[in-house]
C-alpha cells in the first residue's frame, strides 16, 4: 500500500464535485463573487445550456494583477480578513469556487482593479494555471467558462438538455436578483434575453417590492400578503401568497438568510407548517421571505454549495416563520386570490378576446381587510328552520356595507349568488360551511373544549377490531374533542355524543375516517397536536352539503360569518370557497367595454 498526497488539480476536482454540480452552480458562484465585489450590473451569457460557454461580466471593484493570480488558487479569498468564520457577511468565504471551476473547465478571467489603469487576464485549463497577461477591459471583471466538465467526463454525462440546464440557471440568477434589487441583472442564451432587470433605486423597502414584482409577476403582487415580524433577534420580511395561489412544487418559494439564497429544510418545513390548515399536502404556497439573524446564530459553512444553513436555535426560527405567516393569513380573512376570478372569467369568455386581470388593488401594504377573531355568535344552523330575520341580513340592505355582498339567490341548491357594490360573488356553500366549521372547532378546542350534544339514539358504528381498539385507546381525547364513544363488542363502537357545532353529522363516516387517521398517525402525538386535521375531518362530515335549499337569512348569515372568520377564503384543501366577479369584468364579457 502506498499512501500519497494528491496533487492540487485532483484535490480541486474532488472539491468541484461537491460545489459545481451543474452549470447553474458555477454561475451562482460567479454571480455571488460579482455581488461581493459590489457590482451594480451583472451580465450573464450562456451557450448550449452552459455547456459550451458561460460568461459573467460585472462592473465591480475588480482585481489587481497579484490578486488575480491568487484568486484562482485553492483556499484563496479576500473575504475572511480576520479568520472569523462566525461573522461572515459576504456570500463567499471558502476561497475555492474559482479553483474548482478552473479544474473542471477552461476558465479565463480578465479584470481591472478600480483605480488601476491596466487590466490583466489569467486562464486555467483543466486545473493547469497559465501565465498572467495584460488585457483590454475598461472596468470590473469578466469571467468565461468554456467546456465545463470536459475534465470530468463522469459529471459531463449527467448534464441535462440545454433547456433544463437553462431553467436551473434562470432560477439561480432570479434568487440572487430577488435579494439584490440595487443590482441590474441580465441573462442571455446568446440569441434572446431571458432575464432583464434594471437596478432599482429609491429606499430599500420600495426597491425590494419593485424587484419582487418584476420577478414574481403581477399575479403574485396582487395576491400576496406582507410579512414583517421581529422576534428574539430575528427579523422576517417579505411576501407570501394567498393559499388559493398555490403551486404543485416549491419552485416559487424563495427563501433567504442574511441575503443568501438557501434551500433549507427547516425553512421549507416552517412555511409548510404555516399553511398546513389551508393547503392540501401536495400544494405549495408562493413565498419570498428574507430572514435576518445575527451571523453568530447561524452557521453557513455546512456544505460547499453554501445553500444549507444550521441555526443555533431552530425552534425560534421555526416559530417566527410559522407565527408571522399565520398571522398574515389570519389578517387576510376571507380573501381568496384574484386568480380565482381570473380563471373563472377566462372560462366564461365567449371568445378568445384578451382581457386584463380584474384588479382587486395591490395589497403590498399588508392585509387589506381585517378579520375579527370573533367566534361568539353561533354558527348559522343551516338545518334548523329559518329564525326571525337577524339584523344585518335584510334583503334591502346596501351591498356596499359587506365585502361579500348581500345574498340574492341560491342556484342549483349549491351556490349562493350575492350582489356586492361593484360586482357579484358566487359562494360554494358546502366548501364555505366546511371551512367555518373547521375554524369553529379549532377555536373551541383552543379555548378549552368542544361542547357536546347527546344523540337521541346512540349510533352503532361497525368497524374491524383493530380500528375499534385504536378508537378505544383514544376515547378520552376524542371526548375532549366532542365525540363520546365506547367499545361495543369486538367489532363496533357506540357513539353517544357528538360535537354540538357539527349539526347533522354523518357519524359512521366521521368515526371511520378518524379510525383510519389514527392508524397513520404517530402514536406519540396527542390528538390536540393534530387538531387541524381532526377539525378538518369533522367539518367534512358536518351537515351543509351541496344540495340543500337555503333561506335568504341563512345565506346572509353564512356570508357574514365568512367575513369574520380567518382563512374562510379557501377550504381545507386550498380550493376557493367563493369567486368574485367585478362588474367591470362582466361588462367586458358582454363587449360593453
Ligand atoms: P470566495 O468567493 O469564497 O472568496 P472564490 O474562489 O469565489 O472564493 O473567489 C476568490 C477571490 O477572487 C475572492 O475572494 C475575490 O477576492 C476574488 N474575486 C472573484 N471573483 C471576483 C469578481 N467578480 N470581482 C472581484 N474579485 C473577485
Ligand atoms: Mg466566491
The string of pLDDT tens digits covering residues 507-520 is: 888 898 888 878 77
Hey, whose CA ends up nearest to atom 27 of ligand 1? 33
**pLDDT (average), residues 463-480:** 88
Task: Report CA(288)–ligand 2 centroid distance (Å).
Answer: 24
- With the most atoms of ligand 1 within 8 angstroms of its CB, the residue from 30, 77, 93 to mutate is 77
Q: Give me the percent of the chain exceeding a pLDDT of 90.
A: 47
Of the listed ranges 23-32, 88-97, 126-135, 325-334, the least confidently predicted one is: 325-334
Q: Is the pLDDT of residue 389 over 50?
A: no
Task: Report CA(71)–ligand 1 centroid distance (Å).
Answer: 6
Geometric angle at alpha carbon 25, from 22 and 28, rounded to 5°: 150
> 77 is written with which cell numbers?
479569498
Q: Which residue reads 369567486 in cell numbers?
A: 579
Of the listed ranges 23-37, 147-161, 269-283, 530-544, the least confidently predicted one is: 530-544
Q: Is the pLDDT of residue 20 over 80?
A: yes
What per-residue confidence (pLDDT) applies to 349? Answer: 40
Please report, to the nearest 10 degrees, the dihedral formed by the alpha carbons of residues 185, 260, 178, 341 taken in order: 150
Band of the pLDDT at 392, cuts 50, 70, 90?
very low
Q: Is the pLDDT of residue 136 over 90?
A: yes
> Whole-number mean pLDDT of the chain?
84
Q: Which residue reads 409548510 in cell numbers?
A: 272
Give the ligand at the shortest distance from the Cα of 58: 1
User: What number of H helices and E strands is found in the chain?
Assistant: 18, 23
Give the ligand at the shortest distance from the Cα of 141: 1
Task: Report CA(295)–ligand 1 centroid distance (Å).
Answer: 21
Q: Is the pLDDT of residue 417 over 90?
A: yes
Query: pLDDT digit string (tens) for 313-351?
Result: 999 999 999 999 999 998 887 776 665 666 555 554 433
Task: Report CA(32)–ligand 2 centroid distance (Å).
Answer: 6
Nearest ligand 1 atom to the CA of 56 is 23
- φ/ψ of residue 460, rounded to 5: -95, 125
What per-residue confidence (pLDDT) applies to 391? Answer: 42
CB of 91 closer than 8 Å to CB of 69: no
What per-residue confidence (pLDDT) applies to 97? Answer: 96
Give the ligand at the shortest distance from the Cα of 38: 1
Q: Is the pLDDT of residue 355 over 80?
A: no
Query: Which segments of 310-414 are extended strands (E)?
Result: 310-311, 406-411
Q: Is the pLDDT of residue 243 over 80?
A: yes
Nearest ligand 1 atom to the CA of 93 is 3
Which residues, judged by CB distance below 6 Å to any ligand atom, belong to the binding site of ligand 1?
29, 33-34, 37, 58, 60-63, 71, 76-79, 92-98, 141
CB of 55 closer than 8 Å to CB of 29: no
Q: What is the pTM of this model?
A: 0.69
Band of the pLDDT at 290, cuts 50, 70, 90?
very high
What per-residue confidence (pLDDT) applies to 168? Answer: 93
Helix axes 23-36, 162-178, angle to 10 degrees: 20
**pLDDT (average), residues 363-381:** 32
Q: Give me the percent of the chain exceeding a pLDDT of 70.
A: 86
Q: Which residue has the higher pLDDT, 239 or 206?
A: 239
Task: Report CA(140)–ligand 1 centroid distance (Å).
Answer: 12
Q: Which of 239, 240, 264 is nearest to 314 (CA)?
A: 264
Task: Report CA(95)–ligand 2 centroid distance (Å).
Answer: 6
Band of the pLDDT at 533, cuts 50, 70, 90?
confident
Q: Helix or strand or coil: residue 430? A: helix
What per-residue confidence (pLDDT) applies to 283? Answer: 85
Q: Which of 472, 475, 478 is nearest to 490 (CA)?
A: 472
Q: Which residue has the higher pLDDT, 572 or 549?
A: 549
What per-residue confidence (pLDDT) applies to 206? Answer: 81
Give the ligand at the shortest distance from the Cα of 78: 1
Band of the pLDDT at 356, cuts 50, 70, 90?
very low
- With the most atoms of ligand 1 within 8 angstroms of its CB, the residue from 36, 58, 140 to mutate is 36
Q: Which of 141, 139, 140, 110 is nearest to 124 (CA)?
A: 110
Q: Give me the residues paired with residue 578 across strands.
A: 427
Q: Which residue has the higher pLDDT, 382 or 417?
A: 417
CB of 450 closer than 8 Å to CB of 528: no
**pLDDT (average), residues 76-81:** 90
Nearest ligand 1 atom to the CA of 32 is 2
Q: Which residue reads 383514544 in cell numbers?
A: 474
Hey, whose CA ends up nearest to atom 23 of ligand 1? 34
- With the most atoms of ligand 1 within 8 angstroms of its CB, the residue from 92, 140, 185 to mutate is 92
Amino acid at each position: 500500500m502506498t499512501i500519497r498526497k494528491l496533487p492540487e488539480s485532483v484535490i480541486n476536482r474532488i472539491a468541484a464535485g461537491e460545489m459545481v454540480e451543474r452549470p447553474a452552480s458555477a454561475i451562482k458562484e460567479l454571480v455571488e463573487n460579482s455581488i461581493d465585489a459590489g457590482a451594480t450590473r451583472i451580465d450573464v451569457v450562456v451557450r448550449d445550456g452552459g455547456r459550451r460557454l458561460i460568461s459573467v461580466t460585472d462592473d465591480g471593484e475588480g482585481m489587481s494583477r497579484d490578486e488575480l493570480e491568487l484568486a484562482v488558487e485553492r483556499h484563496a479569498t479576500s473575504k475572511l480578513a480576520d479568520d472569523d468564520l462566525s461573522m461572515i457577511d459576504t456570500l463567499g468565504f471558502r476561497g475555492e469556487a474559482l479553483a474548482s471551476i478552473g479544474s473542471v473547465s477552461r476558465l479565463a478571467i480578465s479584470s481591472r482593479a478600480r483605480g488601476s489603469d491596466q487590466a490583466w487576464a489569467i486562464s486555467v485549463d483543466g486545473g493547469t494555471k497559465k501565465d498572467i497577461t495584460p488585457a483590454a477591459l475598461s472596468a470590473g471583471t469578466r469571467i468565461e467558462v468554456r467546456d465545463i466538465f470536459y475534465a470530468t467526463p463522469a459529471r459531463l454525462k449527467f448534464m441535462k438538455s440545454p433547456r433544463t440546464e437553462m431553467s436551473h440557471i434562470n432560477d439561480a440568477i432570479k434568487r440572487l436578483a430577488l435579494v439584490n434589487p440595487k443590482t441590474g441583472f441580465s441573462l442571455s442564451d446568446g440569441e434572446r434575453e431571458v432575464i432583464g432587470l434594471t437596478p432599482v433605486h429609491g429606499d430599500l423597502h420600495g426597491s425590494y417590492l419593485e424587484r419582487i414584482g418584476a420577478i414574481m409577476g403581477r399575479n403574485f403582487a396582487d395576491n400576496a400578503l406582507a410579512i414583517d415580524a421581529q422576534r428574539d433577534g430575528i427579523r422576517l420580511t417579505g411576501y407570501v401568497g394567498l393559499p388559493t395561489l398555490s403551486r404543485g412544487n416549491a419552485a416559487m418559494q424563495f427563501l433567504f438568510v442574511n441575503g443568501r439564497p438557501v434551500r433549507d429544510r427547516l425553512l421549507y418545513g416552517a412555511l409548510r407548517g404555516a399553511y398546513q390548515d389551508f393547503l392540501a399536502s401536495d400544494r405549495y404556497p408562493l413565498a419570498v421571505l428574507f430572514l435576518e439573524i445575527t451571523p453568530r446564530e447561524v452557521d453557513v459553512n455546512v456544505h460547499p454549495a453554501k445553500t444549507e444553513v444550521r441555526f443555533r436555535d431552530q425552534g425560534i426560527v421555526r416559530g417566527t416563520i410559522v407565527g408571522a405567516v399565520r398571522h398574515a393569513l389570519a389578517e387576510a380573512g376571507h380573501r381568496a386570490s384574484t386568480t380565482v376570478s381570473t380563471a373563472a372569467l377566462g372560462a366564461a369568455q365567449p371568445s378568445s378576446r384578451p382581457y386584463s386581470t380584474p384588479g382587486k388593488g395591490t395589497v403590498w401594504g399588508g392585509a387589506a381587510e381585517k378579520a375579527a377573531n370573533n367566534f361568539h355568535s353561533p354558527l348559522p344552523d343551516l338545518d334548523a328552520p329559518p329564525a326571525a330575520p337577524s339584523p344585518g341580513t335584510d334583503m334591502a340592505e346596501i351591498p356596499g356595507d359587506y365585502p361579500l355582498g348581500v345574498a340574492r339567490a341560491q342556484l342549483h341548491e349549491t351556490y349562493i349568488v350575492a350582489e356586492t357594490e361593484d360586482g357579484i360573488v358566487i359562494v360554494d356553500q358546502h366548501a364555505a360551511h366546511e371551512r367555518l366549521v373547521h375554524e369553529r372547532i379549532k377555536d373551541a378546542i383552543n379555548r378549552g373544549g368542544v361542547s357536546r350534544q347527546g344523540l337521541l339514539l346512540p349510533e352503532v358504528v361497525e368497524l374491524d377490531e383493530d380500528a375499534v381498539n385504536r378508537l378505544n385507546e383514544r376515547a378520552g381525547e376524542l371526548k375532549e374533542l366532542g365525540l363520546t364513544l365506547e367499545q361495543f363488542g369486538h367489532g363496533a363502537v357506540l357513539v353517544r355524543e357528538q360535537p354540538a357545532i357539527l349539526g347533522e353529522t354523518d357519524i359512521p363516516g366521521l368515526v371511520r375516517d378518524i379510525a383510519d387517521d389514527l392508524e397513520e398517525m404517530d402514536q406519540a402525538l396527542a390528538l390536540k397536536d393534530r387538531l387541524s386535521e381532526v377539525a378538518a375531518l369533522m367539518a367534512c362530515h358536518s351537515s351543509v352539503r351541496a344540495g340543500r335549499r337555503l333561506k335568504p337569512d341563512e345565506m346572509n348569515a353564512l356570508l357574514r360569518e365568512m367575513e369574520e372568520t380567518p382563512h374562510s377564503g379557501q377550504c381545507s384543501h386550498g380550493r376557493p370557497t367563493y369567486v368574485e366577479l367585478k362588474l367591470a369584468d362582466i361588462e367586458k364579457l358582454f363587449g360593453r367595454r
